[in-house]
Structure formats: structure tokens, C-alpha cells
């Protein structure tokens, strides 16, 4: 290898990385000169992504050293300083994009994150859109773009800040050939404009690797060969990276797979579609598609991303009903409930759809059993599949920890496990390394030729398409051509050319922007490359980033109308329900009399009870046993037992006893009922002139709520409960969801701090929560006649601080939980218990004892309850709540600080 005179952009020295017990990188050392373009190639799971992640600074360095753009990536200070000069595109189609945001909004978000002003952003967005050919549809949501366009958009987002180091992790995996070609033309155009920019790419397409200055070949966590592409190839005595790759892995040269000829089979076609059409709203995804696939045939489906391949396949599996047309599988029309047919079909979806939380072996065993493989055969069948698909080493691993290629292999193994007669495979080899792809196609060949399995497969690899018996070219929901690969390639250099030509003719080129305009460059990186990087920590920059996160989050919330409606209308509906539904008036308690006196006096007493609105008389009781039975069944809440001789004793002044039996299952009601009984008895005695009052006259005065209405006492507390539960739930899924979806990598790669990210996430929900609060206050006044009688200013300030604490709590839960499920359950439980029980909602807080008292004091709800009740019912003044304001601000800050501590800016 010849020494490169240019300064180094990246220097990796002895870097090792482990996940759990497995080594991903073993003492890797690598130098990348500034301005070079480097391709990292190698089989799946050899550590390519890990290496790229370490260089980008999104993965925590475990051992060794990584120097990037003149500094040590182990130092957080250097990472912060250098991150504005690095761009990182993680693996997976559009993984770092926000699907509900439009093309323009996505780029705009990244521009804001890097502190660009409005005019600058505008200019850059226009330039990038023009360059990538995305300019005709700046307002299309990213989620609705085809895979190729998603990757172009992701590239725009990566390039918006003129990086000096561009890191792309398998950017073209799962992208159709035309888009792939356009993508690399774009990257080359940018490099031509900015020759100082270093480009580091991992790729599974060996033919792409030839475009790069330098090659890094990896296997099993080590670098096998590294250097200028020509030198590496010459050194190995091979002509192409593909051969080099085979050579390095010791696979022998040119052992290209040849598909054995097809054996004709009789019988009806295995799959037949006639005029198959599927519409989603006004959009026609599949338009009048017809084809017929014979038994044992390998039928390939080619087309740009989003052309309707997946939708067609889903209709064939019965997952989606067709809007029009008909389809038959193995001679039977497809119906959703046809289990018999499903046993004979294997399906592999485009995205990973096995269980992340089960090991590879457990996933296969579950499949085997669900496909009714006899119990005795399950073990051997799973072992065979593990061996056949080269999964034995990963048998006990969880799929989440495996690289894309191995996950795809697992899906294939699962789809073939029950030896189906028809295999429907949606881009099965996307992201799979060439060696595994060959292995897989060898297997498909055997299945088709020897076992007569019909295979319907979609792919973006031309060498795979060439192995099919027939292929169909699809574009924009329509089939452009069907025929053998040789027929279709006729008149073109090869199949790929034929494919690209057909697509361009159909208008794909125009739509996807075939000829990217030159990208006018920003400042040349070489000029500033060696200047010591300094992180921009000014307040204005920081506020700008917070605003970028907040704006994006707000846009997403506003797009999700249903969520918005739940967030605003849900609390209002609950307030109505609680306002009318919760009441502590105990009335119409069912009671019965066990009258063993049957005198005039006893009947008078019973009438006194029956006439009160608190009690409602039922059939009299005739025995102790009956009294017991009817109390036990819950039919009666109170039994009045009048002893024999009651009337006589009463008139003689002998103070007879009156027995009252109460159902104590609900202590509150029993206690109230006892109080009522006492009162009625007193009234009875007074009305009969039997007792003369002696004591002082106690005059009760009901403060704050003279009418003693439940609503007036309950509503302020309801608002307190709702305003902790809803806002905390709004933010609780925030962080953990980004982690599950993958867009959290934007935080890892950006110059923003965790605090800025969290504040930006919190801000929109603070606004939403506060708006919801205002609606509740208005509702309490207008609907229930419960106005704010004290300081409105105090209530508003208190609510603002309270919602800040609640959203902060949600973020804390979110930073702590690993799954959305845990975050939701956590937010529900952690807020419900203290808010309802320990914060003075139903039971005065001052009466709570023990740990509950401390939990109440250590939770924001109790403090806001003071403000809510104080300003609604008690007419307290602003100045009375200083302690409450202080405590609520403290909680808001504390929760946010804890969340920031728990959320790491790098992944393991």
C-alpha cells in the first residue's frame, strides 16, 4: 500500500467493540485520508455498521482510539465540536426521516438543527431539491415517498450543513436500480463540487464498490484488506470488487450460480391474477394487474420502489382485500379465512416481521408449531433450517441484536420451514450479502426444480432477476412487460439497461429527476479542515435547536388529528363525566325493618325512616337469618331491628334499644348511613316531644361550597388529575418511540445536546396541555357554574408550572422505559396512584398517613391541588401560593434534569 500524502480525516487505532458476549470489532485499525471516498465491504454482521457508528460518534467507544477530523471521538467536547462537520445516514430506508413531515419540512428541520438562518435554509433546500430531482414534490410527506426517493431525501438532510465527512450505511439497500444509479450520480456530483469532502460508505452491492477510491474489506470484525481500490484488486489478481470479495473469503473465483432448467409440470397455474386492482382512498396502488404463474416456476417481480409490488403480494396472501379483479392461489380463490391454503404458502414481508424478543431458535420453533409440523419433527426441522441458512452461530441471539442480512436470512428460513408449495417473497435478499444471496438462490432453485415449489419473488438485484424463469416489470401500479429475462433484455446491453430504459420510457426518470443539477458547494472543507474545532455553545444557537425540535414535534402533532382530538377533547369529556358522575350524596339506601313490636310507636318510627330521602323501604324482614341473608346478598344496606315492647318502654321512659345492622363493605356509606339513622332518630324523638334539647345549638356553616354540591368540590380536583395524566402521557411515548422507530439517531449525530432535545420535545406538549387546561377551566365555569373565585393569575401560573412538571415526568418515564408499552403503563400507574389517592382529591391530604403522606408531598399533584382548590373554591390570593409555585418549578426542573441524565447521547 502506498502512503497517501493527504492529511487524515479518520484514524482508527485498535478499536474493539462487543455487544453482550459477541465481538463486533476486533482491534480494527484504519486510516482514511481527507477527501477520499471509501467503500467498506464484507458479509453481514462483520462489524461494518459498528465501525461506521464509531467514526460518526453515535456509538460509545469501548476500546481503542478513533480520531476524526483532528480530534479524539472519546471526548464529548470534541464530538460536540465536530458533529456539525459530520453527516451520518443510518441503515434502513428513510430511517432518520420523519414520515408525516413533508420533503421540505424534513430538510428544513435539519437546517435549523445546524443553526442556519431562514434565507440560508431556503437557498440550500431549493438547491438540494433541484440537485436530487425532488423539487417537483416538496410538500409530499416523507412516508409516502418511494424507497429511492426516501434515500435521496435522507441524503439531502445529511448534506444540508455541508459536512466534511459523509458517512452512509448501506444507503442503496432495498433501492431499485434506476434510483440507485441516480443516487450515486448525485453523490459523485457533490464530490466533484466539494473535492475535500471525505465519503465513507458501507455497501452490499459489490458493483457499486468499484466507484470508490479506496476499499476496506472486512470479515469477522477484522479488516482483511485495505487500500486504493486498484491496488487492492491488483494485489489479489482480480478484476472486480465482487471477485475480490469472494477471493478474500476464500470462496473460489467465478463460482456463479447457474439455475438448472425448469421441468415442465402439468396442472392449473399456481397463482393467477386477473385485473387485480387496489385503491387506497383516491390513490391507485395496483392498477388492473394480470398474470399467471405455473407450478414450479420462479416468477420475478421488478420495479421501482412503491410501484405496487408489495401491495400485489399482500393481496395474494389475503392480507389486503382487492378493490377489484380476482386472484387464485393453487386453484382456489383467495379469501381471508382460508386456513387450508395458508398452510401451503410461505410469505416473507419486506420489513422484518418476526419477534424481536424471541431468540432465533425460538422464532423458528414457534413457526414450526404454528404451521402444524408434528411435535417430534420440530426439533430436527429447526436444526436443519439453522444449518441450511447458516444461522447456527446466532441461534440463541435476539433478532434485534443481529445485522439486517442475518435477520433476512432468519425470515427466509421461517418462510421455508413448513415446506410450502408456493413461496411469496417480498425483496427477500434486500440487505443480504452476495454469498448469502447465492446460497439462498441455490436453495430456491432446488425448491423449484426438485420439489416443484412455485416462487413469486420481488427483487432489485439484476443478477437475481436473470435467474428467474420469467419476470414482470412494474411501474406505478401497472405491469409494463412480462417475459423471460432474455426476451426482455433483447435490444439492450443487459437486463439492467432494459429495465432502466423501460422505466424511463414510462416516465419514472422524469418523476425521480434523472439528471441532477450540479450542487453549488459551500466553503471548501480543506480550508477549514485543520482549524481546531470549537463547539458553538451560544444561547442563540441553543435556542435555535430547541426551536427546531419543538417545531418539528408540533408539526407532527398537528398532522395527527386523532391524537390531537384525544388530547383536547378527552379531558373535556372526562370532566363532564366526573362532574355529573362523582357524588358523595348517599341517598335512597335500601333498608328493611325487622319489627318485633308492631306497635303504633314502632310504625311511626319506621314511617320516619321511610319518609326520608336517604332511605328507601323494602319488604320487611321476618327473622335474624333473613336479615343476615339479605344484607349478605347486598340487597339491603341497613336493617332496622325493633325489639318487642319498644313502644311501651319508650312511653315509660325506659330508653329502649333500637338495633341498626349495617353493611360495612363500603365503610363510607355505612358511616354515612349510621349518621343519617342517628339524625332521623333524633328528629323522631323531638317530634314526639320525648327529648328536650339541653346542649348548645351547633350551627354548621359550610365554607366555600355553601350548597354542599359535589361538583364544586370535585371539579378542581378532576382538573388536577387530568392535567397530570394527559400531559405526562403525551410525552411518555415521545423519546422511547423515537428509539423504537430509529429517528433518535438524529439526536446522536447532531450537535444538539440531550437537554435541547428534551426541551424541544416538551414545548409543544406544554402548549397543548395548557390549552387543554384553559378549556377545562372554561368548561367548569360555563357548564357546571364553578367559576374561579380566587386569583386567576395564580391558577394560570400554577397550571403552567404543573403542566411543565407533568410533561417533564412523561419525558423521565420515556427516558427510563425500554419499550412504548412499559412507558405507557409506567406513566399511567405512576400518575394515577398519587394523584387520586394522596393529593387531596377525594380524601383531604392532611388525613393521609404514612408513606402515602410522603408520596403526596413528593409529587406535583398535591401542590397543584392546593392552587386549584384554593383559587376555584377558596378565593385565595396570588401571594398565598409562593411555596406551591416554588415546589412545582422544582419538580419541573428535577424531572427534566433526571431525564437528561438518563438519556445518553450515544448508543452502546
Report the site for other proteins in 671-690 (rule: CB under 8 A): 671-672, 674-675, 677-679, 681-682, 684-685, 688, 690
508, 178 contact by CB (below 8 A): yes
Is 704 a residue that touches other proteins (CB under 8 A)?
Answer: yes
Tell whether the torsion through CA atoms of 40, 45, 46 and 52 is positive or negative.
positive
User: Which of these ranges, 155-163, 224-232, 711-719, 744-752, lies near other proteins under the rule CB under 8 A?
Assistant: 711-719
599, 649 contact by CB (below 8 A): no
Task: Please give the residues from 191 up to 250 whose contact with other proteins meets the rule CB under 8 A.
Answer: none
Of 491, 532, 701, 879, the residue at the interface with other proteins (CB under 8 A) is 701
Of 5, 261, 264, 850, the residue at the interface with other proteins (CB under 8 A) is 850
Is 866 a residue that touches other proteins (CB under 8 A)?
Answer: yes
- Rounded to 10 degrees, the C-alpha dihedral 843/846/849/850 comes to 130
Nearer CB in complex with other proteins: 160/714 = 714
Distance of alpha carbon 513 from alpha carbon 145, whole angstroms: 14
Specify burial of residue 847 (Cβ count, 10 A radius: 0-12, 13-18, 19+). exposed
Is 821 a residue that touches other proteins (CB under 8 A)?
Answer: yes
Nearest to 722 by CA among 638, 803, 616: 803
10 Cβ partners below 8 Å, 6+ apart? 30, 31, 32, 55, 66, 67, 68, 69, 165, 198, 200
- Smallest gap from residue 285 Cβ to other proteins (A): 9
Of 75, 351, 600, 882, the residue at the interface with other proteins (CB under 8 A) is 351
Task: Please give the residues from 740 up to 769 whose contact with other proteins meets the rule CB under 8 A.
Answer: 740
Of 712, 744, 776, 887, the residue at the interface with other proteins (CB under 8 A) is 712
- Smallest gap from residue 665 Cβ to other proteins (A): 4
Of 21, 266, 846, 879, the residue at the interface with other proteins (CB under 8 A) is 846
Nearer CB in complex with other proteins: 238/592 = 592
Using alpha carbons only, give the angle 434, 483, 508 rounded to the nearest 5 degrees.
75
Nearest to 36 by CA among 157, 158, 167: 167
Of 582, 767, 796, 902, the residue at the interface with other proteins (CB under 8 A) is 582
- Smallest gap from residue 666 Cβ to other proteins (A): 6
Is 100 a residue that touches other proteins (CB under 8 A)?
Answer: no
Of 266, 531, 698, 879, the residue at the interface with other proteins (CB under 8 A) is 698
Is 828 a residue that touches other proteins (CB under 8 A)?
Answer: yes
Specify burial of residue 263 (Cβ count, 10 A radius: 0-12, 13-18, 19+). exposed
Of 224, 732, 759, 806, the residue at the interface with other proteins (CB under 8 A) is 732
Is 345 a residue that touches other proteins (CB under 8 A)?
Answer: yes
Q: What is the residue-wise DSSP string for 834-902? A: HHHHSSSSSS-GGG--THHHHHHHTSHHHHHHHHHHHHHTS---GGGGHHHHHHHHHHHHHHHHHHHHH
All 3 cell numbers of residue 321? 382485500
Long-range contacts, stretch 826-833, CB < 8 angstroms, 24+ apart: 826/732, 827/725, 827/728, 827/729, 827/732, 828/725, 828/729, 831/724, 831/725, 831/728, 831/806, 831/861, 832/725
Nearer CB in complex with other proteins: 273/721 = 721
Distance of alpha carbon 585 from alpha carbon 71, whole angstroms: 72
- Smallest gap from residue 554 Cβ to other proteins (A): 14
Nearer CB in complex with other proteins: 266/849 = 849
Nearer CB in complex with other proteins: 8/572 = 572
Of 825, 894, 898, 902, the residue at the interface with other proteins (CB under 8 A) is 825
Distance of alpha carbon 172 from alpha carbon 577, whole angstroms: 54
Nearer CB in complex with other proteins: 250/699 = 699
DSSP code for 213: S
Is 377 a residue that touches other proteins (CB under 8 A)?
Answer: no
498, 505 contact by CB (below 8 A): no
Nearer CB in complex with other proteins: 536/740 = 740
Helix axes 561-581, 539-559, angle to 10 degrees: 80
Is 19 a residue that touches other proteins (CB under 8 A)?
Answer: no
Interaction mask 879-908, other proteins, x per CB under 8 A: -x----------------------------
Is 61 a residue that touches other proteins (CB under 8 A)?
Answer: no
Is 819 a residue that touches other proteins (CB under 8 A)?
Answer: yes
The rounded Cα 342 to chain-centroid distance in angstroms is 30
- Smallest gap from residue 182 Cβ to other proteins (A): 27
Put the strands of the sheet holding 222-228 in their side by side order.
86-89, 165-169, 198-202, 37-41, 214-219, 222-228
3-state SS class at 328: strand
Of 563, 596, 603, 789, the residue at the interface with other proteins (CB under 8 A) is 563
User: Which of these ranges, 448-456, 478-486, 791-799, 825-833, lies near other proteins under the rule CB under 8 A?
Assistant: 825-833
Is 787 a residue that touches other proteins (CB under 8 A)?
Answer: no
Is 89 a residue that touches other proteins (CB under 8 A)?
Answer: no
- Smallest gap from residue 16 Cβ to other proteins (A): 28
Nearest to 121 by CA among 107, 133, 135, 132: 107
Is 610 a residue that touches other proteins (CB under 8 A)?
Answer: no
Tell whether the torsion through CA atoms of 67, 72, 75 and 80 is positive or negative.
negative
Place of cell 392480507: 319
Nearest to 38 by CA among 176, 258, 212, 272: 212
Distance of alpha carbon 648 from alpha carbon 239, whole angstroms: 121
Task: Please give the residues from 265 up to 304 whose contact with other proteins meets the rule CB under 8 A.
Answer: 280
Task: Please give the residues from 352 up to 371 whose contact with other proteins meets the rule CB under 8 A.
Answer: 352-358, 362, 366-367, 369-371
User: Which of these ranges, 164-172, 232-240, 651-659, 772-780, lies near other proteins under the rule CB under 8 A?
Assistant: 651-659
- Smallest gap from residue 737 Cβ to other proteins (A): 7
3-state SS class at 360: helix
3-state SS class at 642: strand
Is 848 a residue that touches other proteins (CB under 8 A)?
Answer: yes
Residues in the chain: 908
User: Which of these ranges, 250-258, 505-513, 533-541, 630-638, lies near other proteins under the rule CB under 8 A?
Assistant: 630-638
Specify burial of residue 91 (Cβ count, 10 A radius: 0-12, 13-18, 19+). buried
Is 450 a residue that touches other proteins (CB under 8 A)?
Answer: no
Nearer CB in complex with other proteins: 587/907 = 587
- Smallest gap from residue 653 Cβ to other proteins (A): 7
- Smallest gap from residue 459 Cβ to other proteins (A): 20
868, 719 contact by CB (below 8 A): yes
Distance of alpha carbon 48 from alpha carbon 145, whole angstroms: 27
Interaction mask 538-557, other proteins, x per CB under 8 A: --------------------
Of 578, 594, 609, 773, the residue at the interface with other proteins (CB under 8 A) is 578
Amino acid at each position: 500500500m502506498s502512503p497517501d500524502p493527504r492529511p487524515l480525516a479518520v484514524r482508527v487505532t485498535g478499536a474493539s467493540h462487543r455487544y453482550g458476549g459477541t465481538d463486533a470489532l476486533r482491534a480494527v485499525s484504519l486510516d482514511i485520508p481527507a477527501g477520499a471516498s471509501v467503500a467498506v465491504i464484507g458479509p453481514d454482521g462483520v462489524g461494518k455498521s459498528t465501525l461506521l457508528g464509531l467514526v460518526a460518534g453515535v456509538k460509545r467507544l469501548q476500546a481503542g482510539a478513533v480520531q476524526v477530523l483532528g480530534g479524539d471521538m472519546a471526548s464529548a467536547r470534541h464530538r460536540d465540536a465536530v458533529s456539525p462537520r459530520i453527516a451520518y445516514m443510518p441503515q434502513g430506508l428513510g430511517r432518520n426521516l420523519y414520515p408525516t413531515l413533508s420533503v421540505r419540512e424534513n430538510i428544513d428541520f435539519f437546517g435549523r438543527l445546524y443553526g442556519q438562518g431562514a434565507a440560508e435554509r431556503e437557498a440550500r433546500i431549493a438547491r438540494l431539491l433541484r440537485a436530487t430531482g425532488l423539487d417537483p414534490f416538496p410538500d409530499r410527506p416523507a412516508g409516502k415517498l418511494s424507497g429511492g426517493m426516501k434515500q435521496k431525501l435522507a441524503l439531502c438532510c445529511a448534506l444540508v450543513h455541508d459536512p466534511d465527512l459523509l458517512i452512509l450505511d448501506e444507503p442503496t439497500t432495498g433501492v431499485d436500480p434506476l434510483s440507485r444509479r441516480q443516487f450515486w450520480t448525485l453523490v459523485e456530483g457533490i464530490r466533484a463540487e466539494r473535492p475535500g469532502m471525505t465519503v465513507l460508505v458501507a455497501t452490499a452491492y459489490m458493483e457499486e464498490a468499484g466507484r470508490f477510491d479506496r476499499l476496506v474489506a472486512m470479515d469477522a470484525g477484522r479488516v482483511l484488506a485495505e487500500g486504493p481500490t486498484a491496488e487492492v484488486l491488483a494485489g489479489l489478481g482480480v478484476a472486480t470488487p465482487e471477485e475480490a470479495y469472494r477471493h478474500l473469503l476464500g470462496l473460489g473465483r467465478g463460482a456463479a450460480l447457474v439455475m438448472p432448467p425448469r421441468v415442465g409440470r402439468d396442472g392449473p397455474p399456481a397463482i393467477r391474477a386477473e385485473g387485480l386492482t387496489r385503491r387506497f382512498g383516491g390513490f391507485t396502488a395496483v392498477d388492473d394487474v394480470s398474470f399467471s404463474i405455473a407450478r414450479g416456476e420462479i416468477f420475478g417481480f421488478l420495479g421501482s420502489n412503491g410501484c405496487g409490488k408489495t401491495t400485489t403480494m399482500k393481496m395474494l396472501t389475503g392480507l389486503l382485500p382487492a378493490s377489484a379483479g380476482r386472484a387464485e392461489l393453487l386453484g382456489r380463490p383467495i379469501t381471508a379465512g382460508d386456513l387450508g391454503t395458508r398452510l401451503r404458502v410461505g410469505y416473507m414481508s419486506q420489513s422484518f416481521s418476526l419477534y424481536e424478543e424471541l431468540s432465533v431458535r425460538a422464532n423458528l420453533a414457534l413457526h414450526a408449531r404454528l404451521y402444524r409440523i408434528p411435535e417430534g419433527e420440530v426439533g430436527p426441522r429447526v436444526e436443519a433450517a439453522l444449518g441450511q441458512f447458516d444461522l447456527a452461530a446466532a441461534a440463541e441471539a435476539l433478532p434485534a441484536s443481529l445485522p439486517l442480512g442475518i435477520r433476512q436470512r432468519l425470515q427466509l428460513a421461517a418462510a421455508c420451514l413448513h415446506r410450502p408449495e408456493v413461496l411469496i417473497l417480498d425483496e427477500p435478499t434486500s440487505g443480504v450479502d452476495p454469498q448469502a444471496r447465492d446460497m439462498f438462490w441455490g436453495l430456491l432453485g432446488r425448491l423449484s426444480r426438485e420439489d416443484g415449489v412455485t416462487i413469486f419473488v420481488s427483487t432489485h438485484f439484476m443478477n437475481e432477476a436473470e435467474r428467474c424463469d420469467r419476470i414482470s416489470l412494474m411501474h406505478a401500479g401497472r405491469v409494463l412487460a412480462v417475459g423471460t429475462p432474455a426476451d426482455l433484455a433483447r435490444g439492450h446491453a443487459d437486463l439492467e439497461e432494459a429495465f432502466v430504459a423501460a422505466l424511463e420510457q414510462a416516465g419514472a426518470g422524469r418523476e425521480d429527476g434523472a439528471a441532477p443539477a450540479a450542487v453549488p458547494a459551500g466553503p471548501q472543507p480543506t480550508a477549514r479542515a485543520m482549524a481546531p474545532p470549537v463547539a458553538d455553545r451560544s444561547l442563540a444557537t441553543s435556542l435555535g435547536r430547541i426551536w427546531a425540535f419543538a417545531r418539528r414535534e408540533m408539526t407532527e402533532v398537528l398532522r395527527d388529528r386523532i391524537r390531537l382530538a384525544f388530547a383536547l377533547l378527552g379531558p373535556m369529556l372526562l370532566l363532564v363525566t366526573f362532574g355529573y358522575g362523582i357524588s358523595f350524596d348517599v341517598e335512597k339506601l335500601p333498608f328493611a325493618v325487622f319489627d318485633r313490636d308492631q306497635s303504633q310507636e314502632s310504625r311511626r318510627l319506621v314511617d320516619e325512616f321511610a319518609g326520608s330521602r336517604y332511605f328507601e323501604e323494602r319488604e320487611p324482614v321476618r327473622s335474624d337469618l333473613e336479615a343476615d341473608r339479605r344484607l349478605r346478598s347486598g340487597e339491603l344496606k341497613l336493617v332496622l331491628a325493633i325489639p318487642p315492647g319498644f313502644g311501651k318502654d319508650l312511653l315509660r321512659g325506659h330508653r329502649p334499644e333500637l338495633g341498626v345492622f349495617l353493611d360495612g363493605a363500603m365503610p363510607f356509606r355505612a358511616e354515612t348511613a349510621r349518621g343519617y339513622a342517628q339524625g332521623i332518630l333524633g328528629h323522631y324523638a323531638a317530634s314526639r316531644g320525648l327529648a328536650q334539647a339541653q346542649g348548645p345549638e351547633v350551627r354548621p356553616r359550610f365554607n366555600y361550597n355553601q350548597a354542599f354540591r359535589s361538583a364544586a368540590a370535585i371539579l378542581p380536583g378532576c382538573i388536577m388529575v387530568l392535567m397530570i395524566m394527559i400531559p405526562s402521557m403525551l410525552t411518555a411515548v415521545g423519546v422511547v418511540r423515537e428509539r423504537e422507530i430509529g429517528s433518535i439517531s438524529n439526536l446522536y449525530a447532531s450537535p444538539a445536546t440531550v437537554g435541547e432535545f428534551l426541551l424541544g420535545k416538551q414545548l409543544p406538549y406544554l402548549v397543548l396541555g395548557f390549552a387543554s387546561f384553559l378549556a377545562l377551566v372554561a368548561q367548569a365555569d360555563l357548564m357546571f357554574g364553578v367559576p374561579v373565585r380566587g386569583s386567576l393569575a395564580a391558577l394560570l401560573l400554577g397550571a403552567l408550572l404543573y403542566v411543565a412538571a407533568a410533561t417533564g415526568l412523561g419525558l423521565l418515564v420515556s427516558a427510563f422505559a425500554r419499550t412504548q408499552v412499559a412507558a405507557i403503563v409506567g406513566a399511567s400507574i405512576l400518575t394515577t396512584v398519587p394523584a387520586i389517592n394522596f393529593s387531596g382529591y377525594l380524601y383531604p391530604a392532611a388525613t393521609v398517613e404514612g408513606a402515602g403522606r410522603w408520596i403526596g408531598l413528593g409529587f406535583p399533584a398535591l401542590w397543584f391541588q392546593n392552587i386549584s382548590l384554593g383559587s376555584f373554591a377558596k378565593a385565595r390570593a396570588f401571594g398565598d401560593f409562593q411555596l406551591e409555585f416554588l415546589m412545582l418549578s422544582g419538580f419541573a426542573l428535577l424531572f427534566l434534569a433526571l431525564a437528561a441524565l438518563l438519556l445518553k447521547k450515544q448508543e452502546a
